[in-house]
């Protein structure tokens, strides 16, 4: 049974990460937004401290994962601790959070689909503690975002190689990543059954980086265009190997992408919760500095009502995140709950930051103001990893499974 109370261990982790976000991340937020980059010294500090953007299995230098079952304890807490960490780090700054070295979104598909040899190739790079390293996840293309069935990057077999041609866009850390998990199709007429996932390393012939996006929000996070022109990828870098698709899992590439989202959507939702909470707390500080909010003035009453609504929505979003993460920890199918948490949390972040700006007026809109930055940062959370519309389709189909079965 899911418990909304954090265990003492989880509470300690939450407090530790909040302290780090407050003392190390938040002070860098505005300057990183202005310069569109995070100091290398800070990134190296993260590497030395063992922070990882995405889980690195212990056998590849990551140490024991927080929340792994041990002794007689059978229930994992990895996903819940991940969600707690994402909220606190995003409270510090979501763009800096996306800079944290590690496998990132590329980690889950490697763990889900990759062979032991492929996992070793991908994760061993993170044993290097003298330099920051990243992995990345390359799915989105100019012709589609959330509609994965429209995948058009091609992979044509040529002896022991696959020849990749196509373009990926909006890839977080894609330019500096040591490797990208790249999705392509061997035959578009097969639809999702033709999807394949490849581990593509830097300097692979035919792979190059295009433009780095200049964005409205999350300015300090690298978002890259990746171009594949007759890119030759050896069959050993087809995630899972050819048998994974031919015998073991039909539609394996598509299913691997979707399983990744089941793990990562609650984490993205947790980041949205962190953004909303940061804006809400700054708004409360500002109100206390500028108003005697308890005075019986109609406008003040409306502000009090808005604060109550914000607090309620933030807590509701957090509990949706925790439930989806808990289901992942105990092995329950969580596709619907993962989508519910992401769709709702993204909307909460938008509403809270928008109302905070409305109440603060000019003070909120001035440059170098935290709330103005958070308002820009939150927008993408209703877009990446599946838009809000896509999340609602996923939820609907699972709420009405029988209806879909018979129609």
| Beta carbons within 8 Å of 14's beta carbon, 6+ residues apart | 6, 84, 85, 88
- Of 77, 88, 225, 385, the active-site residue reads 385
Farthest-apart Cα atoms in the chain, separation? 79
* DSSP single-letter state for residue 7: P
| Nearest Cα to Cα of residue 344 among 282, 388, 384 | 388
CA neighbours closer than 13 Å in the CB half-sphere of residue 152:
12
| Nearest Cα to Cα of residue 103 among 55, 44, 50 | 55
Residue 88 token pair:
């606190």
289 catalytic, yes or no? no
| Nearest Cα to Cα of residue 115 among 104, 123, 105 | 123
Taken in order 356, 358, 364, 370, the sign of the CA dihedral is positive
Residue 364 token pair:
């909120």
Distance CA 141, CA 219 (A): 20
Residue 315 token pair:
């807590």
Residues annotated catalytic, as ranges: 385
């Amino acid at each position: 049974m899911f418990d909304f109370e954090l265990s003492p261990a989880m509470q300690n982790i939450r407090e530790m990460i909040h302290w780090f976000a407050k003392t190390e991340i938040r002070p860098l937020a505005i300057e990183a937004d202005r310069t569109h980059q995070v100091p290398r010294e800070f990134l190296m500090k993260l590497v030395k401290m063992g922070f990882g953007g995405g889980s690195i299995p212990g056998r590849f230098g990551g140490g024991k994962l927080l929340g792994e079952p041990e002794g007689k304890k059978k229930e994992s807490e990895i996903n819940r601790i991940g969600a707690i960490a994402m909220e606190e780090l995003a409270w510090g700054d979501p763009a800096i959070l996306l800079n944290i070295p590690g496998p990132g979104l590329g980690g889950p598909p490697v763990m889900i689909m990759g062979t032991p040899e492929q996992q070793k190739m991908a994760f061993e790079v993170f044993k290097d503690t003298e330099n920051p390293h990243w992995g990345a996840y390359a799915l989105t293309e100019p012709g589609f975002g959330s509609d994965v069935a429209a995948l058009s990057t091609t992979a044509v077999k040529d002896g022991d190689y696959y020849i990749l041609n196509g373009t990926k866009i909006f890839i977080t850390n894609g330019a500096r990543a040591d490797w990208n998990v790249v999705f392509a199709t061997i035959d578009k007429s097969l639809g999702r059954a033709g999807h394949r996932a490849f581990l593509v390393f830097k300097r692979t012939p035919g792979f190059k980086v295009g433009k780095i996006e200049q964005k409205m929000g999350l300015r300090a996070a690298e978002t890259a265009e990746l171009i594949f022109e007759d890119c030759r990828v050896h069959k050993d870098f087809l995630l899972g190997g050819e048998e994974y698709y031919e015998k073991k899992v039909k539609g394996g590439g598509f299913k691997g992408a979707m399983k990744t989202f089941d793990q990562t959507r609650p984490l993205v939702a947790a980041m949205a919760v962190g953004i909303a909470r940061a804006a809400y707390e700054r708004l409360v500080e500002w109100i206390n500095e500028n108003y005697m909010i308890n005075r019986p003035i109609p406008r003040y009453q409306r502000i009090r009502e808005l604060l109550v609504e914000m607090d309620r929505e933030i807590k509701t979003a957090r509990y949706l995140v925790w439930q989806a993460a808990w289901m992942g920890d105990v092995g329950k199918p969580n596709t619907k709950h993962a989508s519910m948490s992401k769709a709702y949390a993204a909307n909460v972040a938008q509403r809270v930051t928008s109302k905070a700006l409305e109440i603060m007026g000019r003070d909120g809109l001035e440059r170098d103001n935290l709330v103005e930055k958070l308002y820009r940062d939150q927008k993408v959370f209703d877009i990446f990893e599946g838009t809000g519309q896509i999340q609602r389709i996923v939820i609907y189909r699972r709420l009405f499974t029988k209806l879909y079965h018979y129609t």
